[in-house]
Amino acid sequence: MNVTMTERDSAAGATSTRYHYTRVVAMAGRTVRACVERDYYLGHSCAVVEVLNDQMTWTSLASDAPSNWWYDTPTPTHHLDASAVLGRLADDLLYRAARIVALPPTPLAMSPRVHGAISALLATTYRFDGERRIEPDEVTWACERGGALHIFEHGSGAVTFTKAHRDDCPFITSSGARDCDDECVFPDPASSSRP
Ligand SMILES: [Zn+2]
């Protein structure tokens, strides 16, 4: 999981009864905090990772049960280096948080017109009761060839689906209002086999 983490803050402390380590990072446009508190008692210890929500309060993303790590950590003392002892645990929590917050956003809302146009695309490509299951490797194959998919809803009610143009083509930058400058040429993938 390649999520860039930018350090924001960290704090560590120890007493004769407990020690704690907190690490705050920015990732995927969010602020995420891992807190590990190791108490003399297992039941008072905790390891949790939280995300700062829009109301500026912390929302829990994941936790690690103290029974998973309490026995492997030293008994609290004043002069203990909490960041050294608990750093790995905090890192693991942050990586778990990265997997959670890096999930793709909720599906794009699709207009009824685009939905109808996909129905027509299917019906005209196959037949009126067409069905076609797209496998993930076909999506990868398509994304790596031709242009990016663009969908334009025209004033006439027509809808264009195209992978025929580069992103800075006038047809794309004008959302289909201007013509292609005829400089959109993609390598023919015929030589590479279809999945
Ligand atoms: Zn073009």
Q: How far is the CA of 176 from the centre of ligand 1 (A)?
A: 10
Cα 164 to ligand 1 centroid, rounded to whole Å: 6
Q: Is the pLDDT of residue 192 over 60?
A: no
The pLDDT of residue 5: 87
User: pLDDT tens for residues 11-55?
Assistant: 999 999 999 999 999 988 889 999 999 999 999 999 999 999 888
Residue range 104-162, pLDDT digits in tens: 655 667 889 999 999 999 999 999 999 999 998 998 899 889 998 999 998 899 999 99
Q: How much is the pLDDT for 187?
A: 87
* 122 CA to centre of ligand 1 in angstroms: 24
* pLDDT tens for each residue of 57-90: 999 999 999 999 999 999 999 999 999 999 999 9
**What is the Å distance from ligand 1's center to 189 Cα?**
18
3-state SS of the chain is: CCCCCEEEEEEEEECCCEEEEEEEEEECCEEEEEEEEEECCHHHCEEEEEEECCCCCEEEEEECCHHHCHHHCCCCCCCCCHHHHHHHHHHHHHHHHHHHHCCCCCCCCCCHHHHHHHHHHHHHHCCCCCCCCCCHHHHHHHHCCCCCCEEEECCCCCEEEECCCCCCCHHHHCCCCCCCCCCCCCCCHHHCCCC
What is the pTM for the complete model shown?
Answer: 0.54
C-alpha of residue 118 to centroid of ligand 1, in Å: 22
